[in-house]
Every structure is written in C-alpha cells, then in structure tokens.
Amino acid sequence: MNDKLAELRALAQEKIAKAESVQQADALRVEFLGKKGKITDMLKSMKDMAPEERKSFGQVANETKAQIEKMIAEKMSSLKAAARQAQLLSQTIDVTEPGTSIPLGTRHLITQTIDEVTRIFMSMGFSLAEGPEVETVFNNFDALNAGPNHPARDMTDTFYIDDKILLRTQTSPVQVRTLMAQKPPIAVIAPGRCFRCDTPDATHSPMFHQIEGLVVDEGITMADLKGVLDSFAKQMFGSSTKTNFRPHHFPFTEPSAEMDVSCFKCGGKGCRVCKGSGWIEILGCGLVHPNVLKVGGLDTEKYTGFAFGMGVERIAMLKYELDDIRLLYENDIRFIEQFK
Ligand code: DAH
C-alpha cells in the first residue's frame, strides 16, 4: 500500500513540476488534495485495512499529503512571482519616449480680428455690450431712426421672422439696447453676427460680423470721435496710419462719415490692396442722432454721443489680403492654421 503512496507522490511531483500557470497548479491541488482527490480516496480506503496496517499507512498518507501540499504551495508562489514579473515587464514605461503630440487649435481669423479690435477699445475704457442675433424690427430699424420707408427694411435685404422680428442686419440695435439699459457716461463696444439676404460670392455672405461702438456723455463732439477712431486706426494698422473722414449718410447719426485709413500695405502710394487710391475704407461713424438718444429717454440738450460700426470680415480680408470671403467660413484647417 505504501508503494501506492510513493507512486502518487511521484506523480504529483511530476505534474506539479510541469504546471505552467497558477490555474494549472490550482487544478492539481483539487486533483490530489480536494474532497474527491486522489489522496482523499486513499485515506477513504483505509477503513478496510487491518489496524496495524492502517496506522502505518495513515502516517505515510498524511506525510505524503503534507509533502504534496508543500510542493503545490511552493509552485504556486513561484508561479505567482513569475506572473507578477511578466506583468511588470510588459508594463514598463519608457519615460524618455516622446509623448504623442496633441494638435493645438488656432483661433479663427474672425475671432482674432474681433479680439484685437475689442482689446484696443477696452484699453481706451470701453466695455463690452451684447445683443441677440434675433432682434425686433423696432430695435434694428425704427429706434435707429430708419423709418417705415427706409430701403434697408426691404424684404429683399432683410431676413424677417415675422413682421416684428428679424435677424439683425447690423450690430447697431445694441446701441438701442444699451441706451435703454444704461445711463451716461456710456462707452461700449459690441461685436457680433449680422445677417442680410445676399447671395454668397467672393465679397458677400448672408452671415457676417460687425463691431459696433457707442459713446454718450455730456459734451461729446466730432473731435472725440476723430480722436478715438484715429487712435484705434494707429493701434490696429500701425502707428504711421493716417485717417480721413468723408461725409456720408446713416439714419442714426448726424453728421455721418466714413473713415478711411492710409493703406497699410503701400503706405498710401497706391497698390492692389487699396486699388491704387492709397486709402482704404474701414468704418461708418457719426454723432448719434437725437432721435436715437430720445429712445433712451436722454435729454438731447445735455447729452451727445458718437457711434461707429465696422465690418469684421472686411478688415480681416484687407489685413490678410484674402480675395474670397468664403475662405472665412469653409473652416478648412489648412487655411485657418496659416494665421497662428
Ligand atoms: N450699421 C451700419 C451698417 O451696417 C454701420 C454703421 C455706420 C454703424 C455708422 C454705426 C455708425 O454705428 O455710426 O452699415
């Protein structure tokens, strides 16, 4: 009988030596030591033995069991250590390896232009104002002194939602909102999106951006307008930039003007950018019409103001010599990335 135990131990030893994983070693533990295992079977067979035989067999069987337990435990711990080692090796991090580069975005040219203009005016004490893109006809036209027969109100120029609501055609309604919400002294700048029924081509887009400015206080004159806008032009286009104001007409300003800057490309000699004239038209401006000030309930004998509005796309196109406005909306990363 004791030979059988020796055989069993040899078999266990052989199998344990061959085990390659913790799972295999555990299966051997069940096979030899489990409730229905080989050793247990042998111990069960003891009940049919003579008492002396049973005693010596039991002793050897228990020793064998202990030996197999020990072999399995040792195997288990060496397999676990090896598995851990393999795991550590497979997870080694090379800290000197260069990281994956994350592509950095670029601010869109329109955003850059708005930020630049806004920064300049904020440095002169202006604060930021906002208005909705979906506006009332009143704020977009009536309150801006553009009466019922004003040509801009035409269905063919304006996206109407209904007869009282439209997509704003200009940022000028922010003037109205500001006058209704604030008391002078007022100095605000209002960038934003505008909409007009234009068929897209190289110079037109049904959606575009403007930046509006409004200053209202006691004693504001055309000299303030010229001083502020001339300073803006020098900061935006270079310190040697000259400005020229030409009379114009806008319903919400009186007098009204358009401001030209000396060409920042050729310095005024005449080139492709300024179409040979040496001057580039940049914005519309004027002294706020008393009818507009009245919308804000202001005493027009006491308060005066000036306003201006410029097209963002126009400035970006001139500055970067873009020949097609649609480049600004296609969002082709190869185009945008050129203006990092
Ligand atoms: N809103 C005008 C336009 O869209 C631009 C403009 C002109 C704004 C003169 C002004 C201004 O505030 O004073 O053409």
Cα(287) to ligand 1 centroid in Å equals 11
Cα(253) to ligand 1 centroid in Å equals 9
* Shortest-distance atom of ligand 1 to CA 252: 13
Mean pLDDT of the chain: 92
Residue 131 CB less than 6 A away from ligand 1: no
CB atoms within 10 A of CB 79: 18
Q: Which CATH number fits domain 109-339: 3.30.930.10, 3.30.380.10, 3.40.50.300, 3.40.640.10?
A: 3.30.930.10
Q: How confident is the model at residue 340 (pLDDT cuts 50, 70, 90)?
A: confident
> Is residue 224 over pLDDT 70?
yes
Contacts of 206 (CB under 8 A, 6+ apart): 159, 195, 196, 197, 198, 199, 200
Cα(329) to ligand 1 centroid in Å equals 23
Residue located via tokens 């935006």: 236
* Shortest-distance atom of ligand 1 to CA 172: 1
What single-letter DSSP state applies at residue 274? Answer: T
Cα(168) to ligand 1 centroid in Å equals 13
Residue 285 CB less than 6 A away from ligand 1: yes
Task: Name the residue at shortest CA distance from atom 4 of ligand 1.
Answer: 170
DSSP calls for 20-79: -SHHHHHHHHHHHHSTTSHHHHHHHHGGGS-HHHHHHHHHHHHHHHHHHHHHHHHHHHHH
pLDDT above 70 covers a percentage of the chain that reads 100
* Shortest-distance atom of ligand 1 to CA 175: 12
Cα(265) to ligand 1 centroid in Å equals 25
Range 257-285 average pLDDT: 94
Residue 309 CB less than 6 A away from ligand 1: yes
Of 54-63, 70-79, 156-165, 213-222, the poorest mean pLDDT is in: 54-63
Residue located via tokens 């010229």: 226
Domain ranges of the chain: 2-90, 109-339
Range 215-219 average pLDDT: 98
Task: Name the residue at shortest CA distance from atom 7 of ligand 1.
Answer: 284
Q: How confident is the model at residue 16 (pLDDT cuts 50, 70, 90)?
A: confident
CA–CA separation, 39 and 152 (whole Å): 102
185, amino acid identity: P
Q: What is the pLDDT at residue 1?
A: 62
Phi, psi of 290, rounded to the nearest 5 degrees: -55, -35
Q: How confident is the model at residue 123 (pLDDT cuts 50, 70, 90)?
A: very high
CA–CA separation, 246 and 251 (whole Å): 16
Cα(124) to ligand 1 centroid in Å equals 20
Residue 46: exposure state from Cβ atoms within 10 A (0-12, 13-18, ≥19):
middle
Contact present, 247 and 236 (Cβ < 8 Å): no
End-to-end, the C-alpha distance of the chain in Å comes to 89
> Is residue 9 over pLDDT 80?
yes
Q: How many helices (H) and strands (E) does the chain have?
A: 12, 9
> Is residue 34 over pLDDT 90?
no
Contact present, 182 and 145 (Cβ < 8 Å): no
> Is residue 239 over pLDDT 70?
yes
Range 247-251 average pLDDT: 97
More confident residue, 225 or 12: 225
Contact present, 297 and 290 (Cβ < 8 Å): no
